[in-house]
Amino acid sequence: MSADAERAAWLRGALDRASHEYYVLDRPSLSDAEYDRLFRELLALEQAHPALRTADSPTLRIGAEVGATHLAKYAHLVPMGSLSNAFSAEELEDWATSGRDVAGADFDRSGFCCELKIDGASMSLTYKEGVLITGATRGNGSVGEDVTANVRTIRDIPLRLAGTGWPALIEIRGEVYMTFEGFERMNTERVAAGEPVFANPRNSAAGALRQKDPAVTASRPLRFFGYAFAVPGTTTLPFSTQWELLDTLASWGVPVAPQRQHCTALADVHAWAHALETVHRATLAFAIDGGVVKVNALAAQADLGSTAGGREPRWAIARKFAPDISETRLLDIEIQVGRTGVLTPRAVLEPVEIGGTTVTYATLHNFDQIAEKDLRIGDVVQVKRAGEVIPQVLGPVPDKRDSAHPPAPFRAPTHCPECGTAVTRGEGEVAVRCPNDRCPARHLEELVHFTARTAMDIRGLSEQRVRQLLEAGLIGDPATLYDLTEGVLATLPRLGDKSAQQLIAAIDASKAQPLSRLLFGLGIPDVGEETAKLLARRFGTMDALKDATAEEIEGIHGIGPSIVASVTGWFAAPENRVLVKTLERHGVNTTEPRRAEAEGALLGKKIVITGTLPTLGRTEARELVEGSGGKVTDSVSKNTDFVVVGADAGSKLDKARTLGVEVIDEAELLRRIGR
């Protein structure tokens, strides 16, 4: 082997390990700069010597070009079946009765493995000698579409299986999905960029997989859960139950869904399904449309076999949930003006219960969607609460529209509803904007954002109070908040001496917030909470950041060109530099605390916080943990050191118990960090 080939092999291994630690374990061992340096070195080697690029090269995740202009067909090694459905406990009992008729007592003796039914796009991953060689859609079950180049961009799909014991040739089946947070963030970014929004996470995931350009797929927040695998011919497997199968997938580096449960009797399955539908579903970070119940023992699965034609296995069934769509009347379409000037329509609905929650408002995303769906004020409309994300209006119910006196079509505004300025719309853009920087609605939203709990956290400055201060002419830009005095505030209606004193105390306390909070609060375009932390931790002070070059900012792992342009552009504006200086003169902190020293009580600990804590807000608890050297993560895994639980902890508590992860309360957390 040549020296270049040896170096490339070493780089692939190092980058694979680093990527797995970063994206799956959430425990990075390489700095961003070191990762980027190794990545660029491997990329340069492969460009100079194309024969060195292997099927599992990390450089393929950036989106290698697809040779054909259409998706090639792929014949699955073993056909992908579909599941029959049970929409009630009675139908689940009928399925069990049929199973007993075939397998006898072995049906119940096996027990059941209960799993989430992810609402995503089915995917089959073919691995040869542990290396991913093909990713294919389900298609008709026998033949799917080859989307390998796109699949390689999904960060939690391993390009090479970890561990040992995997067959030489294997297809791992699972679901590609998007989290609600990722979906909403993507749509928010598309609205800001003037691009059309996506309807729901499932369709977005499926569409992303079929892109001709893998770079487009790579930009979408896709994730993957595995739940099965198939091998051609007869192969000795390293497990005997479905539960062990899932554990084995996880040991190979394949993510598996949370909230699974081993049930010994069908009564336990009913209880699991009821709790999942009525309680736990609302706590999940992604959409499900039910659960899947599988006979646990693989030997019993083989005895049960499939229905005629092999279409549906007798040993598994989907326990579907009640639909989350209801009908109600569209009472009005309100128009909200955001801090960036984007006009966003919102549906005002006749209150309706969907999935146990009363819904009064729903998202409409943009005016093009209103026109495409032909939504009219007064229509009876279908509303979907898509897996606990913001409810959305699917469309009108035409049969319930009065044909003799139909409501008039909705007209998109030509002027800002707040300041009367003519709106603008860039060529090819979906977003309609108010271009007036001094628009009172934009001004209000900017100040509300600055004072929010996740930003400067000024308690008592609600939207109504900020509006009152603006109307009284007492504040202008964020720096003017620090000019307020108790005497001035006490003269306002419905604000007595005690409230004024508390509000001034909260404003003073906000001066101590770290730089990351201030950066987020300033509303720099494209700079969210996590980006603000990355910037603050990298540069340490406001002075260092405002004078940083574009190259220095882009060198931060996770920050792309659009964010770089936003940050440098914001600091280039003279009025923003004046604002920063004024905040500094008022004593507002413009530095980020150093990371915890080696003696931090939670140094190196990986911690999950779930539920409502008695005294600490979620943000405050996170900062206490990080200040003591710990890292707060969103999901529970076997690598989690402990979980801090409060009221209504939900699925994360269940998973911690299943994995044997230590569970503590707020009082114990405070004791451990010495508070």
The structure tokens 């049930």 sit at 263
pLDDT of residue 236: 75
* pLDDT tens column, 71-84: 788 889 888 888 88
Highest mean pLDDT among 101-105, 208-212, 261-265, 386-390: 261-265
CATH number of 325-400: 2.40.50.140
6 membership: H or E segment, kind and range: helix 3-23
- Please state the rounded mean pLDDT for residues 89-115: 92
The counts of H helices and E strands in the chain are 25, 20
Listing DSSP states for 425-438 in one string gives: --TT----B---TT
Show the DSSP H helices in 24-65 as ranges.
32-48
* pLDDT tens column, 504-521: 999 999 999 999 999 999
Tokens describing residue 548: 């940083």
* pLDDT tens column, 47-61: 888 888 887 787 765
> pLDDT band for position 65 (50/70/90)?
very low
Residue 603 has pLDDT above 70, yes or no: yes
Q: Closest by alpha carbon to 658, among 648, 671, 668, 643?
A: 643
Q: Do domains 440-510 and 515-585 have the same CATH topology?
A: yes
CA distance 561 to 563: 5
Looking at per-residue pLDDT, the higher value among 3 and 591 belongs to: 591
- Please state the rounded mean pLDDT for residues 18-24: 58
Looking at per-residue pLDDT, the higher value among 183 and 35 belongs to: 183
So which residues are the catalytic ones?
Answer: 117
Listing DSSP states for 460-490 in one string gives: T--HHHHHHHHHTT---SGGGGGG--HHHHH
**Four-CA torsion 367, 370, 371, 372, nearest 10 degrees:** 120
**CATH class belonging to 85-320:** alpha beta
Residue 28 has pLDDT above 70, yes or no: no
Model pTM? 0.50
CA distance 146 to 127: 14
> pLDDT band for position 33 (50/70/90)?
low
Beta bridge partners of 335: 345
* pLDDT tens column, 321-365: 865 678 899 999 999 998 888 999 999 999 987 765 788 999 888
pLDDT of residue 594: 60
Residues in contact with 173: Cβ distance below 8 Å, sequence separation at least 6, in sequence order = 80, 122, 123, 124, 125, 226, 227, 228, 229, 230
Residue 388 has pLDDT above 50, yes or no: no
Highest mean pLDDT among 35-39, 591-595, 606-610, 671-675: 606-610
Beta bridge partners of 607: 632, 642
Please tell me the CATH superfamily of domain 440-510, with its number: 5' to 3' exonuclease, C-terminal subdomain (1.10.150.20)
67 membership: H or E segment, kind and range: none
Please tell me the CATH superfamily of domain 515-585, with its number: 5' to 3' exonuclease, C-terminal subdomain (1.10.150.20)
CA distance 290 to 294: 13
Overall fold of domain 3-62: Helix Hairpins (1.10.287)
According to DSSP, residue 276 is labeled: H
CA distance 6 to 561: 33
Q: Closest by alpha carbon to 94, among 415, 319, 329?
A: 319
Domain boundaries, the chain: 3-62, 85-320, 325-400, 440-510, 515-585, 606-672
Q: Closest by alpha carbon to 240, among 248, 231, 232?
A: 248
User: Is 591:538 a contact under the CB 8 Å cutoff?
Assistant: no
Beta bridge partners of 73: 145
pLDDT exceeding 70 applies to what percent of the chain?
90
CATH number of 606-672: 3.40.50.10190
Angle at 186 between CA 118 and CA 62, to 5 degrees: 85
According to DSSP, residue 405 is labeled: S
pLDDT exceeding 90 applies to what percent of the chain?
39
Residue 494 has pLDDT above 80, yes or no: no
CA atoms within 13 A on the CB side of 582: 14
Average pLDDT score, the chain: 85
- Please state the rounded mean pLDDT for residues 554-576: 88
Q: Closest by alpha carbon to 548, among 527, 578, 517, 569?
A: 569
17-31, 101-115, 352-366, 623-637: range with lowest mean pLDDT: 17-31
Residues in contact with 355: Cβ distance below 8 Å, sequence separation at least 6, in sequence order = 281, 282, 322, 324, 385, 388
> pLDDT band for position 490 (50/70/90)?
confident
User: Is 434:416 a contact under the CB 8 Å cutoff?
Assistant: yes
User: Is 436:341 a contact under the CB 8 Å cutoff?
Assistant: yes
* pLDDT tens column, 136-167: 998 878 888 999 999 999 988 999 999 888 99
Tokens describing residue 195: 């691009």
Sign of CA dihedral 111, 116, 117, 121: negative
- Please report, in angstroms and rounded to a whole number, the separation of the first and last CA atoms in the chain: 58
> pLDDT band for position 241 (50/70/90)?
very high
